[in-house]
Amino acid sequence: MSAIDLSSDVGLVALFLLTANILLGLLLSVRYNPWTHWPHRRINYFKLHNWTGYLALAVSGLHPALLLFSSTTGFGVVDVVYPLHSPKQPVINTLGAIALYLLALVVVTSYFRSALRRRTWKALHYVAYVTAALFYLHGILTDPTLKGAAVDFLDGEKVGIEACALVAVAASAYRLRVALRKRATRVRAAARAPSVAA
């Protein structure tokens, strides 16, 4: 297995971890209780959410670093850190680098969450959605062999990435629907409150 193949596989693992992290975060945001609902077990999925975030960041950082060990790509340290002028797929790699740096921002600010105001932390945490979109876009558009081949959207790796993106979008849409429903309930309750008092 070459360094390029290994980097591609590690990138896939990073995307799967990121997707799991997003899904766990969405469960936290709707206050899902695994004790009263499936799987009817006491699971500290807040801790699981944190650890999938840490792992996703570590594996995402390893993904481009492995290219330094390839003799055919011509990537240097600067190309990995600042891939705008990298020898292969510079625009697509720059999207991946931006996603990695945004993920680092989300993970680091979450680690120091107690030192931040809740509103500030929450605003920074919403960057995770942009991060995920950039990661999925990078994964779908990248030629895993770094030869500039056309994107095969039905390739097994691409289908896996597309499925992750679809699951994340569907779960996020459901979360938005729940939030809008709760807000509408609060508005109706507030509108009824004066008449109850009268």
Sign of torsion, CA 38 44 49 54? negative
Looking at residue 135, what is its pLDDT?
A: 97
Average pLDDT, the chain: 92
Top-confidence residue, 43 or 59: 59
Residues 28, 48: Cα–Cα separation, whole Å? 11
- pTM, two decimal places: 0.89
Is pLDDT at 158 greater than 90 in this prediction?
yes
Residues 49, 40: Cα–Cα separation, whole Å? 18
| Nearest by Cα to 49 from 68, 67, 79, 29 | 29
| Nearest by Cα to 63 from 21, 28, 97 | 97
Q: How many helices (H) and strands (E) does the chain have?
A: 7, 0
Other Cβ atoms within 10 Å of 171 Cβ, number: 16
Looking at residue 168, what is its pLDDT?
A: 97
pLDDT band at 73 (very low <50, low <70, confident <90, very high): confident
Is pLDDT at 145 greater than 90 in this prediction?
no
pLDDT, tens digit (0-9, with 9 covering 90-100), for 123-142:
999 999 999 999 999 999 99
